[in-house]
Amino acid sequence: MIFRTLLKIIKPFQLVSLVMSYLLGAGLVQYVREMKSWPAFIQGGFFLIFIHLSLECLRLLQRLADPRKWPDGLSLKDARLVRLLGATIAATLLTVATTIFINWMQMGVVWQGLVVIVSGVFAVGGLYYITQVSEALRRFELLFEVVFFIVIPPALAYFLQSSELNRMLTMAVIALVPGYLTNRILALLKRYGGDHKTGVETIVIKMGWENSMLLHNALILLTYLLFALIALLGFPWILLWPVFLSLPIGLLQVWLMERVKRGMKPLWGIMQFATACVLWIPMYLLGFAFWIR
């Protein structure tokens, strides 16, 4: 039970999204110029992962402070041990992350723009943690998530290697944001009944079941609309066209959600896979195009 509770700090969807978006940003560096420092690239990935896991440890500690939120079967003794181990893991990971940043300073890769990005990591990460204890900020949790997992990683990967701004980075990130939000809204829809019963105020609870399903479908369509828009704004079509290969999966997900609106049983497993594809396939194909060209 102790090990199983500690494993709750690993959020597969967020972790994979963070790593893939980071690789996309590094791929853009490789596309516009060669990688300046491979050690900094590797360290940057671990830096973000360590910060993410330490934040999840702190969020777990906060949940365990309330016995009503304990997993079934967790005793008081086990809860104390989990909190001790979680605090130790969080402190260790934050220490290692700080050491990585100090190493960047010694390597000479730190510049003004990178300091802003790193400051953003800690600021947004802190707000992401506070949403768990602050009712006023909880409604903004998805916003902090999308910044932490989709906006910051590619920016950090890029600015670790280059001090030159590139509009392709901004275009790619903007087009990926709706895909991430789609996945998170689906996850909140899946646990709608439990959140409503326990009084957890999520964006889906505030919007309502039907409005949230409508927003979910709109975000899927917006994802591909934004990809088409950035193509018109000058994003190289040769790099962008493969992302539309996932459009049929997105349309399938819209149809599956419409089935639910008509009162049919949700196919949660298929729907979660489809929404993950809406984000991960375009992210992978775009990043792959950057890396090989």
| pLDDT tens profile 255-277 | 999 999 888 999 999 999 999 99
Angle among Cα 246, 249, 254 to the nearest 5 degrees reads 130
Amino acid 137: pLDDT: 82
Highest mean pLDDT among 39-53, 82-96, 123-137, 179-193: 39-53
| pLDDT tens profile 140-170 | 889 999 999 999 999 999 999 988 888 999 9
* Neighbouring C-beta atoms of residue 135, cutoff 10 Å: 8
In the chain, which segments carry CATH 1.20.120? 166-293
Packed helices 247-261 and 209-232: angle between N→C axes, nearest 10 degrees: 160
Amino acid 76: pLDDT: 66
d(CA 125, CA 267): 33
Start-end of H helices in the chain = 2-6, 12-32, 38-64, 76-107, 112-130, 135-138, 141-146, 152-159, 167-190, 192-198, 203-207, 209-232, 237-240, 247-261, 268-292
- What class is the 166-293 domain? mainly alpha
- Predicted TM-score (pTM) of this structure: 0.93
Residue 253 pLDDT > 70, yes or no?
Answer: yes
| pLDDT tens profile 74-84 | 666 766 777 88
Packed helices 38-64 and 76-107: angle between N→C axes, nearest 10 degrees: 160
Amino acid 1: pLDDT: 63
Residue 233 pLDDT > 90, yes or no?
Answer: yes
d(CA 192, CA 143): 19
Torsion of CA 175, 269, 187, 220, to 10 degrees: 30
